[in-house]
Structures are given as structure tokens and as C-alpha cells.
A and B are shown apart, each in its own frame.
Chain A
Amino acid sequence: MLEVRSLTRRFGGLLANDDVSLRVAVGEIHVVIGPNGAGKSTLINMLSGDLAPTSGQILLDGQDVTALPPERRSLLGVGRSYQKTNIFRGFTVRENCRLAAQSRAPHPWRLLRGADRYLDTNRLAQQAIAQAELTGREERIAGTLSHGEQRQLEIALSLATRPKLLLLDEPLAGMGAEESQRMVELIRKLREAHAILLVEHDVDAVFALADTLTVMVEGRILASGVPTEIRRNPEVQAAYLGEELAGE
């Protein structure tokens, strides 16, 4: 589904991403972890098209999308969530998802047809709301939802665009234990039909989710592979995971 070839991004003298390569397949959750400043956000921003790479290639189903803007990638099946909740705060939950679903059948020139009259769009929005477990919250103004619910809406917005690849940027950011658990369950359910790349700095929270674990340090991939092996990797332990895991 997603193939990344030697992606590099420089900010002046700083190498935020240095020769990053990875693959994500449908049905797989690929977790990228790393301490703050490791280049995780830079990576996900390049994958979604928010940031242009200095060099390297991004392939989606074999198609080179490196030069495409975010909206074109979205239409090719890339959905992303943001670390800092990025929703339409003044709109209802329903309108948030309806708008996202509208992008699949935009009909911008039907100027006199009411937006609520597109049944497929409404259905798609409703599905996304149900998938993200926000049923019953449809008429709530997004900005008035709890933090956890806003994070769910963040995911629902991407789901309403029917993505094949989901890029999740720290979906557990700022969540309590209970909310985190619910989000982990939600992501687990999405694995089957999507290729998921998840970026997180709290490894414990997402360890159970990962099919593949990639550790980034200072813009580079330190190790990548099956989670249990990565956990035992002494280099990884030294660089990032620290004493607590080594002692387990």
C-alpha cells in the first residue's frame, strides 16, 4: 500500500529525516516511535503532503505521489489525523463528517441542490460516526465534545473520506487511561480494512497494537521489525526505551 524510499528532509542545517524507508500493507499497523525531536511528525507530514521532502520517494499502490498536494493524496486514499486536534470546532459532529464525506462526491457546481440531499454522502458520514463510536453525538457542536471525543472525531473525519491508508499522528495525545484504552480498541478494529501508520512517543500505550515497530532517533531509523524483537534490541534499549523495559 505505502512504500517510502529514502525520504530525507532538511531544515537548514538540521536533518529532520535522514534516509527513511519503510512499507505499510493493508491489515498492518506500523508503529513509528521515537523521542521528541526524532522526526516522527516530519515524516507523517511528508506522507500526507503537508511538507515537501528534500529528496526521496513516496509510493502509494505503486504510484509516485511525492509531488502531489494533500488534497490529491486524500483523493487517492490517504487519510490522516493530527496530533493537535484539527476539526471544524464550530460545526456539528454530523456536519464535520458530512463535509469530509462530501469530498468523495463533491458536485461543486450543483449550486442550488441542498448539501443534505446527497444520500450517499450522508450514509458515508453516518458510517464514520458509528465506526468512531460517536453515535448519539451527531448534533453536538464539535468544540463542546470532551477531549477524548474530539480525538475520536478527528479519526471519524478521516474515515468519512474512505481512506485506504490511515496516518495517525499521536492519536493518544493528552488522553487519560480509560480514553486511551478506547482509542486503542478503535484502532485495532480499523486494522482489518486499512493500512495504518501510527506515530507515537509513548511506546507502552501502543506496543500491543503494533505489527511492525520502527524506532526513530535523530531523524534516522534505528531499528525496524517485529515488536518483541525490537524490544530486546540492545541498541534500542540504550537509545530510547531505557531501563524500565530492559528490566522486564
Chain B
Amino acid sequence: MNRNQWIVLVLVALLLAAFPMTGSTFYTQLITKTMILAIFAMSLDLLVGYTGLVSLGHAAFYGLAGYTLALVQPKYDPMSIFITLPAALAACALFALVTGWLVLRTRGIYFIMATLAFAQMAYFVFHDTGLGGGSDGIYVNNKPVVGVGGTKLLDLDDRAQFYYLVLVTMLVTYLLLRRMLDSNFGRALAGIRVNEHRMRAIGFPVARYQLGIYVLSGTLAGLSGYFAALQFGFVNPEILSWHHSGAALMMVILGGMGTLHGSIVGAFVFVLVEDLFKDQGVFGAFAKHWQLMMGALVVLVAVFLPRGLAGLGAVLRRRRAPETAAVTTTASPAPTGATPTGRASAAGPSTDARDA
């Protein structure tokens, strides 16, 4: 990362760190939820933006982790986070490994359908069987214990402490993923995204790399789902539904695919704008049609900002200095998600999700 990016990151971190001091419980909770969704969106961006695999079943991992927490922890006794979290992540990794092995044999629209199908299967397992309380869902009565020996390190019942745990997790996730994307693995993914055929010809076992990122992405989605289940103290089949997968895709597209920070921006815009559009004080009776406005926003961004909100800066710069901006944007070796395939895939799912 260059100096300006570090400055922005530190500023954002400081702002978010200071936010609970405003004293608004409602908004502190909302931002906690948003940061959890930002981790979820970043995990999806690894597939959509960086590997060129558009998944419409990502909520399966998110939900599976939540259900794992709810089911592994005894009903009336809290359990250590050092047991429940690894259990949730392992469940997601395993699910990703098995489903990934199958869905990665498909491409394009078929990949979308296959991921959607697996997620719907997971949805109906929890919806139609008594395993997780059926369609009513199941409570997570106790927050897991964060402690070593007898010492409690964090109290997850404390909203402020939980807020900071999520904030730090989001920032660390972002930084680690940035490093990962610049590693051999990340660079190979970039190559696979633009030219899978040539990558094979120069000796890369493409399928294994794709399975690797699929498992990593699914596990990270599991981390966000675990936190979500913790925050709400409740899981139900809706968290596995395709609406939820679609919402994550919209966050990634709104923010800008293949940028990572775009996913964070996308999650914040998505949640806060939803909150605004639902506000009857602002939109009156029309607020109940908030999904209409949301759809319009996504269409506008998809049409006028194909690189998402994260690409807004570049668009403005180009308008001011067409020559130099054009050179710098094409010269960037990092995937920008503005390739023809990236655009085409962006249009499909956003239309689907809008109908939700």
C-alpha cells in the first residue's frame, strides 16, 4: 500500500474507533453489523473480483458458521470461543472443500447456478429439518467465553468490547488479505482470472488454486457469520438464503469488485442507505418501498460507475486530467474488476438480486 492509502486507512480506523463515544447504542450496533457484513463482502470479493468466480451461494458459509456456534455450544452453558470459533470455521472450510470440488467444474452462469443450488440445499436442510429449530431458528443463549484459564480477556456481552473486537478483526482481515493478494498465491489468482488457459500452459494447477481460494473465501465468510450469530444471539434459515447472498454481491458491486476496500465501502453504503431509505421521517410512506430505491441505486452505480464507488475517485480524476488518469488506470497491474467479463458478470446477479 502507498502512503495515501495508509493515511486513509488510519483515518477510517480512528473514526470507527471513536464512534461508540457518540453514545448512540442503536448506531453502534448498526456499525457493528456493518463491519461484520464488510468482512463477509470482502470474502466474496476474493471470488468475484479477484478470481472471476461469481458465487450466488455465499450466505451458505455465513449461515453454516452461525448454526455451528448455536449447535456446538450447550444450550445453557457458555463455551470457550477457542472451541466454538475453530469448530465453525472448520465446518465452513469442509463445506467449501466438498462443494468447491464440485462447483469449480463449472464456469460462468453454471457456476452461479451451482453455488446457488448448494446454498439452497443448505437452506432447506435447516429450514425443513429439526436440526436447527426448523424455520423458527435457534437461540444462541450465551456468548462464548474469551479467556485463558480463569482470566477473562474480553466480555462479549459488552457491546463496546464486541464492537472493538469486530473493528480490529475487520482491519486485520483487510491488511492480511492485501498481503495475501500480493503473494505468489494472489498473483497466480490474478493470472488465472485474466487468462486461465495460459496459466495452465505455464505450469499452474489452476483447479487447485481455485479450490484454495474457494475454501479460504468460504472460511472467511464463516468468520463473519460466526460474529453475526454472536451479535444477534439468534440464527434462522434466512441467514443462509439467496437474498443474503445477493445482498453481499450487491455490496461488492456497489463498492467495486476486485478492490477489497470497495467491499468495506459497499457494505457501509448498503447498510446505511438501507437504513436511510427505510426512514419514514425522510421518505414518509414511500419508505416501505425502500427496495425500489435500493434497486435504482444499484442500477445507477452499475451503469455509471462500473468500477463501483471505489472507482469514483478515478472517474473524477480522469475527467479532470484525461491523459494521465487513463495511463495510470491501465498501468495498474492489480485487477480492477473493470474487464469486459467483470462487467458482464456484474450485470447478471445485480438484476437478480434487485427482484428480491
> Which A residues form the contact surface with B (CB < 8 A)?
48, 50, 69-71, 74-75, 79-80, 86-92, 95, 98-100, 102-104, 106-115, 118, 141, 144, 157-158, 160-161
Contact = CB atoms under 8 A, between A and B. Distances in A.
Contacts of B331: 92, 141
A219 B68 CA distance: 60
B184 A70 contact: no
Interface string B202-245: 11111001001000000000000000000000000000000000
A104 B206 CA distance: 14
B194 A89 contact: yes
B187 A102 contact: yes
B188 interface: yes
Contacts of B333: 90-92, 95
B12 interface: no
A107 B184 contact: yes
Contacts of B183: 110-115
B201 interface: yes
18 contacts: A71-B201, A74-B200, A74-B203, A80-B201, A91-B194, A92-B333, A99-B187, A99-B199, A102-B188, A103-B202, A108-B212, A111-B185, A112-B179, A112-B183, A114-B179, A115-B183, A115-B184, A161-B202
B191 interface: yes
B204 to A, nearest CB: 6
Given A50-B197, A87-B198, A103-B204, 7 more contacts: A75-B203, A88-B191, A88-B195, A91-B190, A102-B187, A110-B183, A157-B198
Interface of B: 176, 179-180, 182-188, 190-191, 194-195, 197-206, 209, 212, 330-331, 333, 335, 339
Given A107-B184, A114-B183, A90 B203 contact: no
B176 A112 contact: yes
A106 B188 contact: yes
Given A108-B184, A108-B188, A108-B209, A86 B204 contact: no
Contacts of B209: 108
